[in-house]
Chain A
Amino acid sequence: MSSHRNSMRKFSSILTIPASLLIVIALAGCSSLGDLGNRLMSGDVSADQVASVQKSVTAVQKSTEDITPEQEYYIGRAVGAVILRQYKPYSDPAADHYINMIGQALSLVSDRPELFLGYRFLILDSSDINALSTPSGLVFITRGMLELTRNEADVAAILAHEIGHIEDRDAINAIKTSRITSALTNVAITSAQFATSQDIAKLTSVFSDSINDITQKLVNSGYSRGAESKADLAAVTILERAGYDPRALIEVLQNMKLKLKPGGLDFAKTHPAPEDRIKDVTKDIGNYSAPGYNKSFTQQRYAEAMKGI
């Protein structure tokens, strides 16, 4: 299991800066300064300003790792708004509250319990079999996906998989590095105190491209098989820690296998085939003895909350 993955990553990252990364920083710094060079040529900025910006850019330029939590929050909100253009909310306060209880409780036992403004869950009014998560912790789940569930653990399994994507920053990592280079150049320009409305416009265009990178993955191409497999493994870990039966994930995948329509614009398009995932998840779970939580109690509150779905 990967219990200390996050904290370990945090602590180790400061200790080791691989040479390859330094090269990337150097290269990225060069390319992003092209625009400044042009501005220098046109007399827009002074040589001193370029030197100071160059220092800043090469100092801060790295990768999507350098997107701040606050910016991740703005990116997540935008991705959420784009998803909500495609899907309408189901708007069932009791059901939304129920999935928020499950999802937020699960997030606390995940490897990334805290986000800039926390995890939030919303049911979408669609028969598509889909669940989507934004970088900032907004998680969406369709009615069609909830219809595959038979109990609370099944709902938890789906939400835990989405939390797994957020833990791994899969959406943020879908942003092309060149966008970050470009954004940082703009930020450096701003910081050197010659920001113009043009700079803001350019930053907005980089923002827009970044959102497209993410929604393209979420809605069209899907993440890599490896990323999905990691999210499934994270889901198993989270379910076990919370005390739910992790085999619920297999149950949901089996139902998904029966219901997914070939050519569908949902999980049929963006996720590996359920049977492949079932194989991996079965391995992840290994030997497991059934947990002793109160299933009839959870069944009751599940039925009550899901009655409108």
Chain B
Amino acid sequence: MKEKASIVAFLLLVFSAGVVFAQSEMSVTVQQTQVRDRPSFLAKSLATVSYGDRLAVLGSQSGWVHVKVPKSGTDGWVSASALTEKKIVFEAGASNVDKNASSSEVALAGRGFNKEVEAQYKSANDLNYTWVDKMQTFGVPTKDLVAFMDAAGLKFGNGGDR
């Protein structure tokens, strides 16, 4: 019985060590996002991270990941929706892809459907991107969104903390 328990304990240890190892780093999947001082969109921004940046994972909590920015050492919270466990490889040069690509990586960035492909597609189909570009400028700062909700007594909760 004791033996069985210790085997289970050992397996659990190995499994959890594996989990920690697998999640030790994550990549940023959005063009830019904030590392915040609490797990909330209302929280103060401590640093800005960009697409493809690798962040060390310290923990997680309902939709948020506690990370450390390797370069500056800043630690804080990033929305889980802005992160992937995959590695985003930018310069997909032969040696790079050859050495680094594995099943858990995204090795397409910059070399797949990109600006060049968009330009060809646009001209081949005689498409007008004016309004698509204009829409991109419709972004509203988070503080204004919060004020919009607050003014009507709508729940913004803690801003993404669920």
Verify B145–A187 contact, CB threshold 8 A. Answer: no
Residue from B80, B105, B122, B140 in contact with A101 in the complex, judged by beta carbons closer than 8 Å: B140
- Is B103 touching A204 in the complex (CB atoms < 8 A)? no
B10 within 8 A of A: no
**A212 CB to closest chain B CB, in angstroms?**
10
Q: Is the CB of B85 within 8 A of A80?
A: no
A97 at the interface (CB under 8 A from B): yes
Judge whether B132 and A81 touch: CB under 8 Å: yes
Whether A85 sits at the interface, judged by CB under 8 Å, is yes
Q: Are B157 and A52 in contact (CB under 8 A)?
A: no
Q: Which residues of B contact A294 (CB under 8 A)?
A: 151-153
**Considering the chains assembled together, what is the distance between the CA atoms of A121 and B85 in angstroms?**
29
Which chain A residues lie closer than 8 Å to B69 at the CB level? none
Evaluate contact between B98 and A104: CB separation under 8 angstroms: no
A296 to B31 alpha-carbon distance, docked (Å): 38
Of A30-38, A105-113, A257-265, A270-278, the one with at least 4 CB within 8 A of chain B: A105-113
Measured CA separation A263–B107 after assembly (Å): 44
* Interface flag for A244 (CB, 8 Å): yes
B145 proximity list for chain A (CB < 8 A): 101, 104-105, 108
Which residues of chain A (21-62) have a CB below 8 Å from chain B?
25, 52, 55-56, 59-60, 62
**Complex Cα spacing A120 to B101, Å:** 33
What A residues does B98 contact at CB under 8 A? Answer: 52, 55-56
Q: Is the CB of A117 within 8 A of B107?
A: no
> Once the chains are docked, how many angstroms separate the CA of A60 from the CA of B140?
36
Given B30, B103, B125, B144, which contacts A116 in the complex, CB threshold below 8 Å? B30
Q: Is A127 an interface residue when CB atoms closer than 8 A count as contact?
A: no
B159 interface neighbour in A108, A114, A204, A301, Cβ under 8 Å: A108
Most buried by A among B110, B142, B145: B145
Known: A10-B83, A105-B156. A80 touches B92 (CB 8 A): no
Interface contact B162-A193, CB-CB below 8 Å: no
Which among A14, A97, A201 is the interface contact of B23 at CB below 8 angstroms?
Answer: A14
- Please tell me which one of the listed residues A6, A68, A84, A101 contacts residue B132 in the complex, with CB atoms under 8 A apart: A84
Expressed in whole angstroms, the minimum distance between the Cβ of A102 and any Cβ of chain B is 8
User: Distance (Å) between the CB of B63 and the closest chain A CB?
Assistant: 5
Decide yes or no whether A288 CB sits under 8 A from chain B.
no
Do residues A117 and B31 form an inter-chain contact, with CB atoms below 8 A?
yes
Give the bracket for the number of chain A residues in contact with chain B. Answer: 35 or more
- Per the 8 Å Cβ criterion, residues 103-156 of B in contact with A are 103-118, 120-122, 124-125, 127-129, 131-132, 135-136, 138-140, 142, 144-146, 148-149, 151-156
| B97 nearest CB neighbor, chain A only | A191
Interface contact A187-B111, CB-CB below 8 Å: yes
Q: Which A residues are in CB contact (< 8 Å) with B63?
A: 3-4, 6-7, 111, 113
Check A187 against B107 for contact (C-beta < 8 Å). yes
Query: Which chain A residue shows the least CB distance to B162?
Result: A3
Chain A CB within 8 A of B5 CB: no
Please give, as numbers and ranges, the residues of chain B lying within 8 Å of A13 by CB-CB distance. Answer: 85
- Say yes or no: B156 contacts A66, CB within 8 Å: no
Say yes or no for B74: interface residue by CB 8 A criterion. no
**Interface positions of B from 69 to 114, Cβ below 8 Å from A:** 79-85, 88, 92-94, 96-98, 101-114
| Contact A104–B116 (Cβ < 8 Å) | no
- Apart from A74-B115, A80-B135, A85-B128, 15 more pairs, CB < 8 Å: A3-B162, A4-B162, A59-B105, A60-B105, A66-B108, A77-B129, A105-B154, A109-B156, A152-B152, A192-B94, A193-B94, A203-B112, A242-B154, A242-B155, A243-B149
Those 10 A-B pairs whose CB atoms lie nearest each other, nearest first: A243-B155, A7-B80, A191-B92, A114-B82, A243-B154, A191-B97, A204-B120, A59-B101, A81-B127, A69-B29
